[in-house]
Amino acid sequence: MPGLIIPGAMKAGTTSLFRYLEGHPQLAPAARKEVHYFDHHFHRGPAWYRRQFRTMRWTTSGTARIACESSPYYMFEPRVPARVHDLVPDVKLVFLLRDPVERAFSHYHNNRRLGREPLDFEAALDAEDDRTLAEEERLRADPTHVSEPHRLYSYRRRGLYAEQLLRWQSCFAAEQILVVDSRQLFADPAAVVAEVLRFAGLAPWQPRSLAARNEGRHGDAMSARARRRLEAFFAPHEERLRRLIGWCPSQRSCSTTYRAA
């Protein structure tokens, strides 16, 4: 079972961080980065989850490897923190936070690129509550329910980081949680990798390549009206996050990592 999980946020650098870490000699990465056990495949049971970590369990020195995965929907799906705690209560958790305005726009363009979103950006924002709120209530009420609309169209709500972190903090001890500013990951990936390794109790090490992975590049610019609208929406939530962890990713001068207190 994993000793390290990167639960999100989506479009905040989880693929890059996972790819940087997967070559570490003490890590046993999942066969694929996004296992989605605690959200989409929970009905398959722990034995199925264990089979997703097929890399050899021992290092050349005879010490056990630490299994690792990253499924970015975990951070947002409301049932996941309790499920993770029930199965792997001692796991270490790394959360990446990106400016929620930019994250929402990148999320939208990812859906457009994959043919999942027929609406323009502002229309998609208008439709978000109708698409997702009832689905979230059903997720909370029905342990067997799986919701594609909740996963796909949560452009704004996935940026409500304080709300999500509080759910995880209610299940896990402070020393099990590390929060990283994704801007720092892309500005100085070696420093972030080193911090994550210290946090996870792994030996110092550097990946061969620190090139960014899965960058959501697109040629469109967000309209000024959409940006103002999102900034106004996120302002109180970012202030709540700042009070919770001492910084928020929309600010341009802040701490870059946070250990829960």
Domain residue ranges of the chain, discontinuous segments joined by +: 2-215+225-259
Region for residue 253 given its phi and psi (left: phi exceeds 0; alpha: psi -120 to 50; beta: otherwise): beta
State the Cα–Cα distance between residues 248 and 171, nearest whole angstrom. 22
Q: Which residue has the tokens 């996004």?
A: 34
Calpha distance 96→9 (Å, rounded): 6
Q: What is the pLDDT of residues 47-97, one digit of tens each?
A: 999 999 865 565 555 567 899 999 999 999 999 999 999 999 999 999 999
CATH fold, domain 2-215+225-259, is Rossmann fold (3.40.50)
Burial of residue 230, with CB atoms counted within 10 A of its CB: 0-12 exposed, 13-18 middle, 19 or more buried: buried
Element (H, E) at 177: strand 177-181
pLDDT in tens, 162-182: 999 999 999 999 999 999 999
Mean pLDDT for the stretch of residues 186-190: 94
What average pLDDT does this structure show over 224-243? 96
- Tokens 């479009």 correspond to 11
pLDDT at 210: 81
Report how far residue 91's alpha carbon sits from residue 85's, in angstroms, rounded to the nearest whole number: 8
Burial 21-46 (b: 16+ CB within 10 A, else e): bbebebbbbbeebbbbbbbbebeeee
Question: Of 158, 13, 16, 17, whose CA–CA distance to 4 is shortest?
Answer: 17
Query: Is the pLDDT score of 30 beyond 80?
Result: yes
Residue 257 predicted with pLDDT over 60: no
pLDDT at 122 over 50: yes
